[in-house]
Amino acid sequence: MKKVERINTMMRYINNRAHFTISELMREFNISRSTAIRDIREIEAMGVPLVAEVGRDGGYFVMHNSLLPVVRFTDNEVKALFIAFMATRNQQLPYLKSRQSLAEKLLGLISENQQDDLVLLNQILLFEGTNPNNPDLLDLSDLPHPMLEKVIQILLLDRYLLITIKEEEVAKSYPIYLLHLYHEKGLWLIEGFDLKEEKKYIFPVDHISDVRPYEARKRLSKKKILEKLSKQEEVINLILELGPNSIAQFKKYHPLKVSISYTNPYQTTAILKTFIDVNKPEELTEMTNWLLFLGEDIKFREVPKEVLEGLQERIYLYCP
């Protein structure tokens, strides 16, 4: 690691800790004691208010109510940030409206030469979902459901939620412990543990009409929730061997809960293991379509008969 990068990283390391020692810096950054001391002196000279503590357990801490100097970005880090913004600007992400002001602030931190590079990248690079005639256009369809940001604001404080779902003009409330909030196939979904039925469910954020913290006296502890989930683990009933073509298709799209394990160092073959709930027609249809999407470069080791029947029906429709 170059000295400038090490100093920047060390400043973040220091700022995230209430207390640190020379020995910790030596281990973390693989440097000598003299180098660690020189780096600390340089950081102090840049205005970081470090206070030294003497004694056997002595070390350093950052003086309270003081600000660190502006973080310095390398040229490649600036480009990485900018391209990340470009790649996701037309996706249904939370706080999408704040991205414009954030991008403007980032641009204000860099030199004119760097700004010229970013303007050129903006003209050349196009990503999926971007309007080629007006890349900066933000359509109404790009904006996520307004409930998404409310859910995030609450879950950052409390993962025990009472969510109200509107189902066919009837509202129903579910007390849940939020396990994950994720985006799949253009939808934001909540994976939650229902505290009454003690089962895991998926709730579309778009269907939520209200969300609030769940009352504390009716909660299960996180430990008990995880114990109950571990007892409800789904038994794997689909095992596939994937070749290079199906691996390429898998990388283009795969359900969130599905993963693969490579079986050779070149990552040209892999094993896929998962569970399909054949009692849920929607999941069965979705997985059948996805298996066809993977193509012919797959071999079945284990598969439910309902999935095979669905594949045969689908193939017959296209090749009578």
Same domain? For 251 and 306 the reply is yes
314 assigned to some structural domain: yes
Of the candidates 284, 275, 291, the residue with the CA atom closest to the CA atom of residue 242: 291
129 assigned to some structural domain: yes
- Taken in order 52, 12, 97, 99, is the CA torsion positive or negative? positive
39 assigned to some structural domain: yes
Write the CB contacts of 224 (distance below 8 Å, at least 6 apart in sequence).
none
Tens digits of per-residue pLDDT, 139-178? 556 677 889 999 999 998 899 999 999 877 788 999 999 9
Q: Regarding predicted confidence, which is higher, 316 or 256?
A: 256
pLDDT over 70 for what percent of the chain?
Answer: 90
Please say if the pLDDT value at position 69 is more than 60. no
Same domain? For 226 and 170 the reply is yes
Give the chain's mean pLDDT.
Answer: 84
Same domain? For 180 and 248 the reply is no
Write the CB contacts of 209 (distance below 8 Å, at least 6 apart in sequence).
147, 164, 165, 166, 171
**What's the whole-number mean pLDDT along residues 201-206?**
90
Question: How many domains would you assign to the chain?
Answer: 4
Mapped onto helix, strand or coil, the DSSP state of residue 258 is coil
If one counts every other C-beta atom within 10 angstroms of the C-beta of residue 102, the result is 12
Angle at CA 148, nearest 5°, toward 80 and 288?
85
Same domain? For 223 and 244 the reply is no
279 assigned to some structural domain: yes
Same domain? For 224 and 297 the reply is no
Question: Which pLDDT score is estimated for 159?
Answer: 93
Q: Regarding predicted confidence, which is higher, 63 or 179?
A: 179
User: Hey, which bits of the chain come out as E strands?
Assistant: 50-53, 59-62, 160-167, 170-184, 187-194, 199-204, 208-213, 238-242, 260-262, 270-274, 298-302
Same domain? For 173 and 223 the reply is yes
Question: Which pLDDT score is estimated for 112?
Answer: 82
Residue 70: pLDDT band by 50, 70, 90 thresholds? low
**What's the whole-number mean pLDDT along residues 289-305?**
92
Q: Report yes or no: 167 and 141 within 8 Å, Cβ to Cβ.
A: no
Q: Regarding predicted confidence, which is higher, 130 or 110?
A: 110
Domain boundary pick from 89, 123, 141: 141
15-19, 254-258, 313-317: the lowest-pLDDT one: 313-317
**What's the whole-number mean pLDDT along residues 4-29?**
85
Question: Which pLDDT score is estimated for 58?
Answer: 66
Question: Which pLDDT score is estimated for 62?
Answer: 76
106 assigned to some structural domain: yes
- Here the CATH number for the domain that contains residue 175 is 2.30.30
Distances from the Cα of 168 to the Cα of 79, 165, 192, 207, angstroms: 47, 10, 21, 10
Question: Which pLDDT score is estimated for 174?
Answer: 94
Mapped onto helix, strand or coil, the DSSP state of residue 270 is strand
Q: Report yes or no: 162 and 175 within 8 Å, Cβ to Cβ.
A: yes
Q: Report yes or no: 293 and 314 within 8 Å, Cβ to Cβ.
A: no
Q: Which residues of 276-307 are buried (b: 16+ CB within 10 A; e: fewer)?
A: bebeeeeebeebbeebeebeeebeeeeebebb
Same domain? For 314 and 293 the reply is yes
How far is residue 248 CA from its own chain's centroid?
21
Domain boundary pick from 183, 208, 231: 231
Of the candidates 214, 216, 263, 215, the residue with the CA atom closest to the CA atom of residue 243: 263
Please say if the pLDDT value at position 128 is more than 70. yes
Residue 103: pLDDT band by 50, 70, 90 thresholds? confident
Please say if the pLDDT value at position 214 is more than 70. yes
Q: Regarding predicted confidence, which is higher, 135 or 33?
A: 33
- Here the CATH number for the domain that contains residue 7 is 1.10.10.10
Same domain? For 15 and 39 the reply is yes
Please say if the pLDDT value at position 137 is more than 60. no
91-105, 225-239, 258-272, 291-305: the lowest-pLDDT one: 91-105
**What's the whole-number mean pLDDT along residues 224-236?**
86
69 assigned to some structural domain: no
Please say if the pLDDT value at position 320 is more than 60. no
Of the candidates 236, 229, 231, the residue with the CA atom closest to the CA atom of residue 276: 236
Domain boundary pick from 231, 258, 277: 231
Same domain? For 154 and 99 the reply is no
Please say if the pLDDT value at position 66 is more than 70. no
Same domain? For 134 and 152 the reply is no
Same domain? For 258 and 185 the reply is no
Q: Give the range of the structural domain holding residue 17, as residue numbers without chain letter.
A: 3-62
203 assigned to some structural domain: yes
296 assigned to some structural domain: yes
Question: Which pLDDT score is estimated for 238?
Answer: 92
